[in-house]
Structure 1
Amino acid sequence: MRETTGELKAALAMASSPAWTRRVRAGRELASSADVPEAAEALVGLLLDVDDTAVTRRTAEALTRVGTVAAIRLIALAVAEADDSRSDWLETGVRDALLGTGGVPGVVAACGELGRDQEEAVRQGAAVIAAWADDSGR
């Protein structure tokens, strides 16, 4: 596990900012640290941001671009917890990242691995994301 650096601490602080633009920036900056527990917790909060759907969309996009199992797992957790409206914005963010990037195979592979996760919510969320990726790859 990585040590919490100054940059990570600053991004974590931005994640709770009242300004939606700062929260969007935090999501982008934290995405590559999805495997760090403090960052993971903040990222799930950003994915489920109750104040602004742009935060949800852009954080989902950033995590999808990272494409690691840890990053996709966080989106899967959010998908399992999200209401229909929030889920639509998560899907939009995932699709934004997948369109034209060739990133579908990595996301699909991560979803396949997450399909064997111990948590039912992660398995269900990963199945939804895999379907989104499949639809985007057509």
Structure 2
Amino acid sequence: MPETTEGPAAALAGASARSWAERARAGCALAPVADVPEAAEALLRLLLDAEDTAVTRRVAEALTLAGTAAAVRLVALALAGADDSQADWLRTGVEDALAGTDGAVGVVAVCARLAREPEAAVRRGAAHLSAWADAAVRR
């Protein structure tokens, strides 16, 4: 996943770029600040990118690697609004992030907290993410 040195304002602008690569870079740059409302809005839109599944995959990977409650919550929420293809690419991004890392245990812990969220869509998405992370832990 490409690193970027752009700031949040540039990343927010990049989230609406015509280029899929620029949108993906913007999502990766915004992942660490997923708790900022403007970033969260852009990240959710990028997770469900209608033009290119590479954006979906890379942003899901970046958010999973960030591992914060806000980041994982966005992936869980995106699952609720995803079509089958998007859900497959969200899963691929999550699995890419968890492959060969210790991050799966942290994602499982975050999902356990998200399972108590008031929003049903977040709870459902967290259940899927938890199952994917559990599978990664067992590998």
The TM tier, using the shorter chain, reads over 0.9
Q: 2: distance between equivalents of 1:24 and 1:127?
A: 26
SS at structure 2 position matched to 1:12: helix
SS at structure 2 position matched to 1:16: coil
Residue of structure 1 equivalent to 2:123: 123
> Shift of the alpha carbon at 1:137?
1.7
SS at structure 1 position matched to 2:51: coil
**Which runs of 4 or more aligned residues in structure 1 lie more than 6 Å from their structure 2 counterparts after TM superposition?**
none
User: What does the per-residue CA deviation read over 1:49-96, in whole Å, with 9 as the maximum and x for residues that have no partner?
Assistant: 000000000000000000011000000000011011100000000000
> Shift of the alpha carbon at 1:38?
0.1
SS at structure 2 position matched to 1:133: helix
Alignment TM-score, normalising by the size of structure 2: 0.94
Cα RMSD of the aligned pairs, angstroms, is 0.9
Question: Any gaps of 5 or more consecutive residues in structure 2?
Answer: 1-5
Q: 2: distance between equivalents of 1:8 and 1:127?
A: 30
Q: 2: distance between equivalents of 1:26 and 1:74?
A: 15
Residue of structure 2 equivalent to 1:38: 38
Residue of structure 2 equivalent to 1:86: 86
Q: 1: distance between equivalents of 2:35 and 2:15?
A: 16
SS at structure 1 position matched to 2:111: helix
| Mapping for residues 46-125 of structure 1, pairs under 5 Å | 46-125=46-125
Is 1:133 equivalent to 2:137 in the alignment?
no
> Shift of the alpha carbon at 1:30?
0.2
Q: Which amino acid aligns with 2:56?
A: T
Question: Any gaps of 5 or more consecutive residues in structure 1?
Answer: 1-5
User: What does the per-residue CA deviation read over 1:3-38, in whole Å, with 9 as the maximum and x for residues that have no partner?
Assistant: xxx811100000000000000100100000000000
Q: 1: distance between equivalents of 2:124 and 2:81?
A: 10
